[in-house]
Chain A
Amino acid sequence: EVKLVESGGGLVQPGGSLRLSCATSGFTFTDYYMSWVRQPPGKALEWLGFIRNKANGYTTEYSASVKGRFTISRDNSQSILYLQMNTLRAEDSATYYCAREEVRGYFDYWGQGTTLTVSS
């Protein structure tokens, strides 16, 4: 059974840092692109970025809103996806989802989400 479980959310002060994790199981982690998507309370989904699979060199792409502040990485030995978030702002407050991309555009499995609140 495929599972994606996010963790690491919480309350952080503006300017702070946090690392989210997405623990996966039930599939060959290195075969898949993995994405992070967030959703502020009551607002739309926002794609943050992804990390490609082994065949494509584990390279990354980011949205402009987080490029340079957020870093996506993966621990392929433990099948964990990470999102390192630095210089956090109030507008980063959201539920953060990890998602597996079966083929481009088809996100077949999602985590349950983890919530970040950035506030003093």
Chain B
Amino acid sequence: DIKMTQSPSSMYASLGERVTITCKASQDINSYLSWFQQKPGKSPKTLIYRANRLVDGVPSRFSGSGSGQDYSLTISSLEYEDMGIYYCLQYDEFPLTFGAGTKLELK
């Protein structure tokens, strides 16, 4: 199985701050990577797929980048509503595998 190493596991950030979360795959995943946001007690929400394709309705402060094994999710200017847990997912090979998550909290 492809292992997704996500970092950091948790972080504190201030409103307006630029935030970057990374995922490293154990092998090349050909940009078949998605990012999800999950808030407490809620179902996950897809933010980005195919590494950099922003889902309709997701604010433009979210962006994704990367290739090969290394990918990142960036929030350009953190807002209060962005608090939650973020997961990456590779879908290049079966089984699909998630990262362990990044808990983003307000400083």
A: residues with CB less than 8 A from B are 37, 44-47, 49, 61-64, 97, 99, 103-108, 110-113
Contacts of A107 in B (CB 8 A): 34, 36, 44, 46
**B91, A104: Cβ atoms under 8 Å?**
yes
A102 to chain B, nearest CB (A): 9
Closest residue of chain B to A108, judged by CB?
A: B46
Q: What is the interface size of chain B, counting residues whose CB is below 8 A from a CB of the partner?
A: 25
Given contacts A61-B95, A62-B95, A113-B43, contact A105 B89 (CB under 8 A): yes
What are 25 inter-chain pairs, A to B, with CB distance below 8 A? A44-B98, A44-B101, A45-B87, A45-B89, A45-B101, A46-B98, A47-B89, A47-B95, A47-B96, A47-B98, A49-B95, A61-B94, A63-B96, A64-B1, A64-B95, A104-B32, A105-B34, A105-B46, A105-B89, A106-B34, A106-B53, A106-B55, A107-B36, A110-B43, A113-B43
What sequence of 0s and 1s flags, for each residue 33-60 of chain B, a beta carbon within 8 Å of any chain A beta carbon?
1101010000111100110010100000
Instruction: List 11 additional A-B contacts (Cβ < 8 Å) besides A47-B89, A106-B46, A112-B43.
Output: A45-B89, A45-B98, A45-B101, A63-B95, A105-B32, A105-B33, A105-B49, A105-B91, A107-B34, A110-B43, A111-B43
Query: Bound state CA distance, A113 and B98, in angstroms?
Result: 18
